[in-house]
Amino acid sequence: MTDKVQKTYHLKFRFDYNEVLDNYVNATHQVIFILTAGAVPYTGTVGIETMNALGAIIKPHLHYHFETVEKPDTIRARIKRAYTDRKRFYTLKEENDVIDRDRFYRYCHKQIEPINLDDHLELYRRVKLPDNYDVHLQNQLAYEEWTKSKDIMTIKNKENLSRLTVYEKILILIKDENPELSTVSQCKLYVLDYYTRHNIPPQKQKIIDMAMGISLSRGIITQAQYLLLD
């Protein structure tokens, strides 16, 4: 009788930190310790990201790509038990077909400037790098790919923004900035401020219409109130 071969899972883990930290090493080690139940570290790569695809600063988060014989559901249950007070703070996805092993692993390096990689490698005290994996070469490739993609995305984003209406641009800004808007008056002042800052000649009725639309979309007023207010 032949022994049953255990399936190896290639998993992509993302974890959002609660706050901006001065040093992510200990916090990251704690997350990975929980993920692995304190066992021998999974083979994989890890990286901290603080920017989105356009290079804008976003909430810091961890990327950890690894392989394991543990079932993904077992790991998910472990994470949920450890963080009962948090919701929507992580993702754990299986990569079913890893065609290019190095590309799968180097994704985690993409926001690390090659000159800073050696300092970053302190994170790997709880991670085992894949065999025959040239971390310096892969980091350089990942960073180059990311910066080229960022530049292309930035150009496309500027082109797309140039086609948007003022109202669409304001809605995007509100989504990004999440300002305190709880009254119709605050919405009106927010729109007027946008007009002023961008040297757009203010048109009172347009500003009122936009502010009402924002108030309606954010639940500040109901549809019935919208029909009554001006």
Q: Containing H/E element for 129?
A: none
CATH number at residue 53: 3.30.70
pLDDT of residue 55: 80
Quick one: 146 and 177 in the same domain? Answer: no
pLDDT tops 60 at residue 1: no
Quick one: 103 and 143 in the same domain? Answer: yes
pLDDT tens across 142-196, in order?
Answer: 999 998 888 777 777 666 666 668 888 888 888 877 788 889 999 999 999 999 9
Name the percent of the chain in helix, strand, coil, to the closest 5. 50, 15, 35
Q: Of 123, 152, 181, which residue is a domain's last?
A: 152
Quick one: 136 and 171 in the same domain? Answer: no
**Owner of token pair 């754990």:** 92
Quick one: 130 and 49 in the same domain? Answer: yes
Assess if residue 65 is contained within a domain. Answer: yes
Average pLDDT of 26-41?
Answer: 87
Quick one: 148 and 186 in the same domain? Answer: no
Residue 69 and residue 99: Cα distance in Å, rounded? 19
pLDDT of residue 163: 66
pLDDT of residue 122: 85
pLDDT of residue 64: 95
Quick one: 54 and 147 in the same domain? Answer: yes
pLDDT tops 90 at residue 73: yes
Residue 153 and residue 157: Cα distance in Å, rounded? 6
Domain coverage including residue 131: 9-152
pLDDT of residue 230: 60
Q: Are 148 and 191 in contact (CB under 8 A)?
A: no
pLDDT of residue 13: 96
